[in-house]
Structure 1
Amino acid sequence: MFFTTLSKASLALLVASMILVLTQKAEAHSYADCIDWRFKDPKNPSWSDKNGACFGYARRFPLKAKLFAKLDSDDPNRHYQQSHKNPDPDHSLACSDGKQGEEPGADETMGKPISAAYTGTDKRGRKVGPQTVSKPGGQLCVRWPAKNHAVPDEKNQPVTIALSEVNPTKDPTQLQFLSNIITNLNYKNCSDTKLNTDIWPCGGCFKLPTTLKPGNFVMQWRWKLNSNEWYTSCADIDVRAK
């Protein structure tokens, strides 16, 4: 009865709007928004901007470029989906070069020097976030946007956190990262769930190994959405002696 009262133009507009909404939800993909998130009140942790702050970011992460959770529509988009070929994601480029992959994403290659990925501006002239500084055994809390994938009817795919050896001269391969996964985090560990499911802030905390030597380590955040569909973010951790 409702549709019979609509004109053809109105019906076409309604259908187009519904398709757009469904497409936006289907194409919403996550990424590491913060590598060193610190809660204002650790006894009542929340991942929202009003309840904490970020002290370390992924490589060339633009500060204040867009609202939280909206960098998947940035130019270039922040999320990097590894290639389905070569011959599978376990052999794909571990950190985005902005060119390869099913969805190339932003450039997260290693800076030369390391600090170059955390100082100055990105290619669009936007100030980038600082590098994470920690210590052996130090706690890091990583934040990411839910992007509609933390709802009850979706499978909870864990986030894996992996580290390189100390002071690498180039980014590890994906297989090298897979050989040194230090923790798995609950993707659906979100707060502020009364908001739109696209922008739920989520995250997890872990401790770096106590055996780490002082130096630079490459950290990879990796998350599986669907079969053979992996997303990664890369950051450098400056580990200093206690």
Structure 2
Amino acid sequence: MFIRTSIIASATLALLASVAQVEAHSWADCVDWRPKDPQNPGFRDSDGECFGWARQYPMDKTPFAALDSSSPSRHYQQDHIANPVPCSNRRAGVEPGADETRQDPISKAYGGKFGAQPRVKAGDTMCVRWPAKNHAAKNEREKFVRINMPLELLDKDPDQKTFSNSTIATIPFKNCHGVESNPDAAPCGGCFPIPANLQTGNYVVQWRWELNEGEFYASCWDLAVTGTDPTAPGGNQTAPLPPPTPLGRSTSVFGNLAKNI
């Protein structure tokens, strides 16, 4: 009887572990990752430093791998409809996520208990990183991350159709380090150019990943751009943006989970 009970218990634990792995999903971690070697960017903690995060990204000491099981979850699976809510509002979605709606003023979503707002000069290159979450194995088909960014200064978030028509970069999801040894928390990422000839201001950006056909996950942030073109659409805002505020804490997001990858 004891042996039978032990076998059943072991099988149950194995099933739960399998379900947990299958259900693991990703999100944009650092959205302003600055690698030490821009010519050969890496995404481990030792390869660079994070200077900006998505909206209302928590700066507490919650382990990185737990952010998809914390409350509210950091990952947001959109509804399977033609024009879903683009940025999580904690209500919509097959799997509602943390609040990533636009704040008024925008600065309310950054600093203090939240991560710093990402900043860039028009025409420069930015890098973003995310966790593998058990979806970057060699035998899995490649899934792509799309960086969507309308090139106008907007006073509210656009709908998903507008985001989807504003893709500025497509990045392979499986560009990761150490998947074999740590498939859940392996750091992944990619870099892309910010369009030139933009005016100074806050542009909304969306990280959107299609895990399975029609199954999308999204993260949103406000990108503070120092512009180069005073004639670009969006008004005459050419004054440089102020420098970022020091965080007063480590900028490492993966922490101990990725140190040995």
TM-score by length of 1: 0.89
- 2:9 corresponds to: 13
SS of the residue 1:198 aligns to: coil
State the AA in 2 paired with 1:100: A
- 2:202 corresponds to: 216
Measure the CA separation in 1 of the matches of 2:198 and 2:178.
Answer: 35
SS of the residue 2:216 aligns to: strand
- 2:76 corresponds to: 80
Structure 1 residue 147 and structure 2 residue 133: aligned? yes
Q: CA deviation at 1:64?
A: 3.8
Structure 1 residue 171 and structure 2 residue 163: aligned? no
Contact 1:187/1:202 (<8 A) preserved: yes
Q: CA deviation at 1:138?
A: 1.5
Q: CA deviation at 1:228?
A: 1.6
Contact 1:58/1:233 (<8 A) preserved: yes
Q: CA deviation at 1:43?
A: 4.7
Summarize the alignment of residues 1-242 of structure 1 with structure 2, pairs less than 5 Å apart. Answer: 7-84=3-80, 88=81, 90-120=82-112, 127-241=113-227
Q: CA deviation at 1:164?
A: 2.4
Measure the CA separation in 2 of the matches of 1:158 and 1:205.
Answer: 13
Measure the CA separation in 2 of the matches of 1:64 and 1:45.
Answer: 27
Percent identity between the aligned chains? 46
TM-score by length of 2: 0.83
State the AA in 2 paired with 1:166: E
Contact 2:137/2:179 (<8 A) preserved: no
Measure the CA separation in 2 of the matches of 1:135 and 1:210.
Answer: 9
Query: Could you tell which deviates more after superposition, 193-202 or 107-116?
Result: 193-202
Q: Describe the superposition over 1:166-219 as per-residue Cα deviations: whole angstroms up to 9, x where unpaired.
A: 321111100001111001001010113343211110000001001221111000
Q: Describe the superposition over 1:88-124 as per-residue Cα deviations: whole angstroms up to 9, x where unpaired.
A: 2x4000000011100010000001101110033xxxx
- 1:124 corresponds to: none
Q: Which runs of 5+ in 2 are unaligned?
A: 229-261
Measure the CA separation in 2 of the matches of 1:70 and 1:195.
Answer: 18
Contact 1:48/1:192 (<8 A) preserved: no
Q: Which runs of 5+ in 1 are unaligned?
A: 121-126
SS of the residue 1:18 aligns to: helix
Measure the CA separation in 2 of the matches of 1:104 and 1:240.
Answer: 33
Tell me the matched-pair count: 228
State the AA in 2 paired with 1:110: R
State the AA in 2 paired with 1:183: A
Q: CA deviation at 1:37?
A: 0.4
SS of the residue 2:224 aligns to: strand
Measure the CA separation in 2 of the matches of 1:105 and 1:119.
Answer: 20
Measure the CA separation in 2 of the matches of 1:35 and 1:187.
Answer: 15
Contact 2:132/2:174 (<8 A) preserved: yes
RMSD: 1.6
